[in-house]
Amino acid sequence: MSGSLRRYAAADSMRWRRWNDEMVVHDAASCTTHLLDGGAGEVLVSLRDAPHALDADTLCRRLLGIDAPDDNARLMLEETLQRLAQVGLVVAIDP
């Protein structure tokens, strides 16, 4: 799997609450609130808990607990990361 060099980090200005498989996230910096499904919520929490920004390959391995996630899983993760970045909950860091 050829990984992107782009890394991602959770925005610092978030608060969230979880209910079953949904998460509501408030971003204080933009004064916006977002409803996330369980998958997007897990991505956000994993980034928030990481000690540094993560690339998509590393994050995918952490979330799935396997060494070599398939291309479909990685593509879904990258789409989720892009959606989270578009609304300001995740910061994309280019090399």
- SS3 of 67, please? coil
Domain containing residue 29: 12-88
Q: What pLDDT is attached to residue 84?
A: 94
51 belongs to a structural domain: yes
The pLDDT tens digits of the residues spanning 31-56 come to 999 999 999 999 999 999 998 999 88
Per the domain annotation, does 24 fall within a domain? Answer: yes
Report d(CA 45, CA 53) in Å as an integer: 13
| Residue 62 belongs to some domain of the structure | yes
Domain count, the chain: 1
pTM, two decimal places: 0.84
Does a structural domain hold residue 95? no
Say what the pLDDT of residue 1 is.
Answer: 40
Q: How confident is the model at residue 62 (pLDDT cuts 50, 70, 90)?
A: confident
Residue 1 lies in a domain: no
Residue 6 lies in a domain: no
CB 20 within 8 A of CB 35: no
Q: Is 80 left (phi over 0), alpha (psi -120 to 50) or beta?
A: alpha
In a domain, 43, yes or no: yes
* Domain-embedded: residue 44: yes
How far is it, in rounded angstroms, from Cα 59 to Cα 44?
10
